[in-house]
Amino acid sequence: MDADEAVIRTFVDPAREERLARFLASPADRDRLRQELSHLRELHPSYRQPVPAERQTPEELERLLRTLGAPDRCHLLSEDPELDGLELELRDALDWVLGSGRTTFVSCVPGRLAYFEGKRPGDRYLLERPGPPVETA
Among residues of the chain, what percentage have pLDDT more than 70?
95
Kindly report, residue by residue over 91-137, the tens digit of the pLDDT.
Answer: 999 999 999 989 999 999 999 999 999 988 779 999 999 876 566 65
Please report, for the chain, the start and end positions of each structural domain, with discontinuous segments joined by +. Answer: 3-128
CA distances from 100 to 1, 13, 130 (A): 28, 23, 28
Model-level pTM? 0.92
87 vs 77: CA distance, rounded Å: 10
Q: From residue 88, give the alpha-carbon distance in Å to each of 18, 28, 84, 94, 122.
A: 27, 24, 11, 9, 24
